[in-house]
Structure 1
Amino acid sequence: MDSKRIIESSSSSSSSPLLFRGNAESQSQQYDSSDDVASNDEQHKQKITSSSSSSSIPPPTLTFTTLVAVFGSYVFGTAIGYSSPTQARIMIDLNLTVAQFSIFGSILTIGAMIGAIVSGTIADYAGRRLAMGFSQLFCISGWLAITIAKDAWWLYIGRLLVGCGIGLLSYVVPVYIAEITPKNLRGGFTAVHQLMICCGMSLTYLIGAFVNWRILAIIGIVPCLVQLLSVPFIPDSPRWLAKMGRLKESDSSLQRLRGKNADVYKEANEIRDYTEALQQQTEANIIGLFQLQYLKSLTVGLGLMILQQFGGINGIVFYANSIFISAGLSESIGTIAMVAVKIPMTTLGVFLMDKSGRRPLLLLSAVGTCLGCFLAALSFFLQDIHKWKEVSPILALVGVLVYVGSYSLGMGAIPWVIMSEIFPINVKGSAGSLVTLVNWLCSWIISYAFNFLMTWSSTGTFFGFAAICGFTVLFVAKLVPETKGRTLEEIQVSLNSNSMKK
């Protein structure tokens, strides 16, 4: 493939032009001498290789930029967690029926699907940074509508607007973080997206136990404002800028993200050369994604999102209280135990992401979710046959905690990390929109169907989830590539080469 030849030549050629001009004075001393360009360039590339591969301490600008981005993830978590602690009070205050509140809860995923459809287009044409700011306008408007709601319709409108905002955020945040971070830090930094979702959800549960639902909605505006007011101070994605032909701005952005004294020569040229190769190809719409060259990336991206949701996560998390009650447990004990497991395991996944690799962590997580669902199914089976009644509630609690802990370790974050890595820049917008839309659609299906499935058979429901989680192990082992330690450009070369061989 042409892009492979271009990348290899850019790393070995001594005549590649230096794109970056941000530190003109310091860099001119290295490159202005025409007599010994060859020897200096060789030393320069060795310096780049050693400095980029050995440095594991993130520069302050990169850390700050990632922190601003994941405030959007925190907003995502607050939106998901809002309905659980507020249900009883909202139904009393606004005289809502169970059906009306169910609409209020589920309409979030409808809004998220709408946001997902346009997420790629907005992020591609306006930029990742502006897309995050734009999404917060939806979220702020939605929270305000919920705050002043006097009837169900205002609640629906507010929840729908918040859903549109988080549908956009669920795509743009992991993609932006993946595009700005170096390969040795990318996995862990991108996984912080899931960690902040977890923190937002858990803190909303906690705060919602003590404050009125209107005040909780106002509190939800705070992280929205933090990100909205902070995005003007962070750089845009160097890869997006290069795609738009703004090469000097791409180099300047890359220098800010890597630190003013960092050498970005090799990385800047690699981004430019690969972008130039992709510009020879046309931008693909969603229909155009179904071509042989994108087949593996699309299969991996869609497959992970479908299996993530059909493994039962939203049904188990959204209706955990009813699961614990059905199993004969106290709902408060179960909920507290879930929060106590979820945050530490998500944090552990962040630290392991760039050490163990994506595939081993994903395999371990899928095996754990399979085991958790099997234990929960066994608990309900024992109830059905009236055996070991003293043991079955504990077995259900252990099963749910094993499932939630294992999911938080890998299945929650890694599909989003891999989604942000495997698609080339010329199709990332349309592919990201499709993958995010499918994720939210599957989320709605499971959220809507879970109570009906539990009414049909609690044992059958969890055995079904266990089977899907077991299939996930096979899917990951056979199809999911390891992306640890590779630049985004190297990942594209590997995927496209494999596709062409087949």
Structure 2
Amino acid sequence: MQMYDSPTIYAHVEREASKNIEENERECFKDAIVSSRSLNKGFTETTTIRNAIPEIAACIIAATFHISVGFSMAYSAILIPHLEAADAELHATQEETSWIASVVVVCTPVGALMGGFLMEILGRLRTLQIGVIPCVAGWILIALSTNIPMLLVGRLLTGLSTALATSPAIVYITEVARPELRGSMISFGPTLASFGMVLSYVKGAYIHWRLVAWISIIYAVVPIILVELFVPESPVWLVSKGRTEDAKKSLEWLYKYEPKQGKVSAAEAQLTTIMKEKEIKLNEQRKSKHGGLSTKMRAFLKPTGWKPMTILFLFFFFQQFSGIYITLFYAVTWFQEVGAGVNEYLASILVGVTRFLCSMVNTWLLRRFRRRPLCIVSSLGMAACMTVSGYFTLLIRDGDRSGYWVPVLCLLLYVCTSMVGMLTIPWTMTAELFPTEIRGIAHSISYSIANMLMFAALQSYRSLQSFLGGSYAVQWFFAGISLGAVVFVWLLLPETHGKKLSEIEEYFQNNFLAVGAKSEARKQRARRRNKRKGPTALTQPLNPSHSKTMQNV
């Protein structure tokens, strides 16, 4: 048996322990930076409403432009019926109206890339304000339109603004809100977008579409005025630009109601934390510079790159072609073509109100339940609603109007069930599925893919009606896609609720199918435990008197 002297053993164990500690600290720092969890910690144990009032106010004001986003999305629903009417002052064909509905998402990827570029140069809030400019120009063009190309350009500009102004708002909220408030504040944006849809449907029911366009300018301009007057710039961005004094002033405004921790104010503690994390980020960037763009591109060929990208593509495909956004963009037209005989504008208002109320419940669902069950329940509910609605739509077409109210009820339930998972969860997974090295660019790519699929789905609505033979068949098509989504989620969608980013990355190293992933994970853990036991036995101290020292190491 080979003998080892004690100093050699101690040196070996100390090196291993030191190496493990360094690796753990590096991973902790990395996770903290990615999740932004450390930007608002350390200065108070509990959050009170009074302490957080400045943060909440800043986040809500930054998110108010989402109302205009909701307006842009729902506006096609109230505009298209007027353009397709026989006595329309500005007549459009069905092909032209499909472009009017879908063109708003074409520029979204471009707006997102422009927003990301401008955010780093000009700041979060200044980019948000610049993003309002194309929105105002677009609404003016729509209101003054004398032909269809003017309408299309107007819709294109409002779509560009949708991403250009909302991305900075989400980044700002992420950097400003403390951890226990961050999820609620981020979800406030989509809730305000749903509220904007309700406003658009309500105004469209009672006001001419040109006047609605003029009124929409108010919802775009007021947020930039409020931001200019009341909201300080993100201290994280200010520190990244070396503007430490401005960052301190911003933090003093955000945490002016926070009590001091000893002699140090909350603002000073936060400034120290942010500056430390800036230094860590710079060190990480310096280490990764040698790889450059080619390293990032190669990362997409790894299992942690192509697997999540493939899953997200399929996820968004099922989301878009299950009809979720088609029914929102064509709400009024949908009720007309179903033939239920109800006031289609009032019915569309009900759809908007339902979506708005469900968006508030959705935040609670995402915090409490796992992603896979939510998506399966959501897809099954959507399939059931569209199946029943299609059947009664067929009866109405054949002259039986006894169940004329059923398609309206089914669409409302369809909106509710879509909000449970399929409408919201794909967007939340665009960042968390990818490893740190490509998360930024992968998020942009998957976001662009989602919008291209949305454009294709909106464009296909009229063609699907002609090809399948009517509104009832389109609804059954949506039901079929929703059932396909159930199979997809069961087979491929990984569970990310409560998982660390490192755990998600490890999942893709070893799995692609979600079926059986748990048993494979147990095997991996068992193999790691066995692997750890081997070196431990080799480095066991031979002198019993040193056991306490070794345990401390």
Offset at residue 466 of structure 1 (A)? 2.6
Counterpart for residue 234 of structure 1: 231
Give the drift of 1:135. Answer: 1.3
SS of alignment partner, residue 149 of structure 1: coil
Report the CA distance between 1:57 and its aligned residue: 7.8
Q: Is the 8 A contact 2:496 2:504 kept in 1?
A: no
Residue 42 (structure 1) aligns with:
none
Partners in 1 of 2:427 and 2:348 — Cα distance? 26
TM-superposition CA deviations, 1:341-397 (whole Å, max 9, x none): 22221222234443446555444433332332233344356678x79x456544433
Q: What is aligned with 2:281?
A: 275
Judged with a 3 Å threshold, the aligned counterparts in structure 2 of structure 1 residues 368 and 234 are, in CA distance, closer, same or farther, namely farther
Counterpart in 2 of 1:374?
387
Q: Tell me which residue corresponds to 1:290.
A: 300
**Structure 1 residue aligned with 2:45:** 51
Is the 8 Å Cα contact of residues 386 and 411 (structure 2) preserved in structure 1? yes
Q: Which residue of 1 aligns with 2:534?
A: none
| Larger RCO (CA within 8 A; separation ≥ 6) | 1
Q: Does 1:60 align with 2:60?
A: no
CA shift in 2, pair 1:4/1:479, >3 Å:
farther
When structure 1 is superposed on structure 2, of 443-452 and 99-108 the one drifting more is 99-108
Are 1:211 and 2:207 counterparts? yes
Alpha-carbon distance change, 372 to 241 in structure 1, aligned in 2, over 3 angstroms: farther
In structure 2, which of residues 451, 457, 474 is the aligned counterpart of residue 440 of structure 1? 451
Query: What per-residue deviation string (whole Å, max 9, x for no partner) do you get for residues 47-92 of structure 1?
Result: 76x816x768881222122212222211111112223334455676
| 2:72 alignment partner, one of 65, 76, 79 | 79
CA separation in 2, counterparts of 1:124 and 1:492?
25
**Which has the larger Rg?**
2
Question: Following superposition of structure 1 onto structure 2, how do residues 436-475 of structure 1 map, counting pairs within 5 Å?
Answer: 436-457=447-468, 458-475=471-488
Q: How many angstroms does 1:207 deviate by?
A: 1.6
Q: CA deviation at 1:445?
A: 1.1
Q: Residues 331 and 115 from structure 1, CA distance in 2 versus in 1: closer, same or farther, beyond 3 angstroms?
A: farther
Q: 1:166: Cα distance to partner?
A: 1.0
Q: Which amino acid aligns with 1:445?
A: A
Query: Is it true that 1:145 corresponds to 2:141 in the alignment?
Result: yes
Question: 2:401 & 2:81 partners in 1: Cα distance?
Answer: 31
| One-letter code aligned to 2:502 | V
Structure 1 unaligned blocks of 5 or more: 13-18, 23-44
Q: In structure 2, how many angstroms separate the alpha carbons of the residues matched to 1:320 and 1:405?
A: 15
How far does residue 204 in structure 1 lie from its aligned partner after superposition?
1.3
- 1:311 pairs, out of 299, 309, 322, with 322
Residue 454 of structure 2 aligns to which amino acid in structure 1?
S
Pair 1:399-2:410 in alignment: yes
Contact 2:69 2:193 in 1 (8 A): yes
**CA deviation map 1:458-486 (0-9, x unaligned):** 455333323433343455565344355x8
In structure 2, relative to structure 1, the CA distance for the partners of 1:436 and 1:87 (3 Å cut) is: same
Alignment match, 1:39: none
| Offset at residue 398 of structure 1 (A) | 3.1
Q: Is 1:343 aligned to residue 356 of structure 2?
A: yes
On the 8 A contact 2:247/2:271 being kept in 1, the answer is: no
- Residue pair 2:99, 2:459 contacting (<8 A) in 1 also: no
Compared CA separation, residues 376 and 418, structure 1 to 2 (3 A): same
Q: Shift of residue 127 of structure 1?
A: 3.8
Shift of the alpha carbon at 1:316? 1.9
CA positional deviation for 1:145? 2.2
Is the contact between residue 60 and residue 185 of structure 2 (CA under 8 Å) also seen in structure 1?
A: no
Equivalent position amino acid for 2:231 in 1:
I
Give the Cα–Cα distance (whole angstroms) in 1 for the partners of residues 208 and 396 of structure 2: 38
CA offset digits 1:174-227 (Å, max 9, x no partner)? 444344333333333222222111111110121233333333222111122122
The separation in 2 between residues aligned to 1:57 and 1:303, in whole angstroms, is 44
The letter of the residue matching 2:54 is: T
CA contact (8 A) 1:188 1:351 kept: no
Distance 1:329 1:462 in 2: 14
Matched, 1:223 2:223: no
Secondary structure at 1:329 match in 2: coil
Q: Return the offset for 1:405.
A: 1.3
Structure 2 CA distance for partners of 1:151 and 1:246, relative to 1, 3 Å: same
Does 2:162 correspond to 1:166? Answer: yes
Report % sequence identity: 22
Judge which range, 257-266 or 122-131, deviates more: 257-266
Q: How many residues align?
A: 463
User: Is there any run of 5+ residues in structure 2 with no aligned partner, and where?
Assistant: 1-19, 33-37, 260-265, 512-553
* Shift in Å, 1:412: 3.0
Comparing 369-378 with 85-94, greater Cα deviation is found at 85-94
Mapped partners of 2:383, 2:249: distance in 1: 47
Conserved 8 A contact 2:77-2:332? no
Return the offset for 1:125.
4.4
Change beyond 3 A, Cα 1:69–1:112: same
Cα distance in 2 between the residues matched to 1:373 and 1:136: 37
Match of 2:151 in 1: 155
8 Å contact from structure 1 (residues 194, 346) kept in 2: yes
Q: Which amino acid in structure 2 is aligned with residue 368 of structure 1? A: G
Q: Per the alignment, do residues 301 and 266 of structure 1 end up closer, same or farther by CA in structure 2, a change over 3 Å counting? A: farther
Alignment RMSD, CA only?
4.1
* Structure 2 CA distance for partners of 1:10 and 1:428, relative to 1, 3 Å: closer
Query: Within 2, Cα distance between the matches of 1:118 and 1:359?
Result: 33
> In 1, are the aligned partners of 2:125 and 2:233 still within 8 Å (CA)?
yes
**Deviation by residue 1:389-432 (Cα, 9 ceiling, x = unmatched):** 45654443332221111223443333333435555776454333
Q: Contact (CA 8 Å) 1:365, 1:406: kept in 2 or not?
A: yes
Which of 190, 195, 207 is the aligned partner of 2:191?
195
User: Are residues 501 and 89 of structure 1, via their aligned partners in 2, closer, same or farther at CA, if it must alter by over 3 Å?
Assistant: closer
Could you say if the C-alpha distance between residues 411 and 190 of structure 1 is closer, same or farther in structure 2, counting changes exceeding 3 Å? farther
Q: Verify the 8 A CA contact 1:322 1:331 in the aligned structure 2.
A: no
What residue is the counterpart of 2:505 in the other structure? 496
Q: Return the alpha-carbon distance in structure 1 between the equivalents of residues 455 and 30 of structure 2.
A: 46
- Relative to structure 1, the CA distance from residue 88 to residue 462 in structure 2 (aligned partners, 3 Å threshold; closer, same or farther) is closer
Post-superposition CA distance 1:20-54 (Å, at most 9, x none): 9x9xxxxxxxxxxxxxxxxxxxxxx9x76x816x7
Amino acid at match of 1:469: S
Q: Normalising to structure 2: TM-score of the pair? A: 0.70
Question: In the alignment, which of 92, 106, 109 is matched to residue 97 of structure 1?
Answer: 92
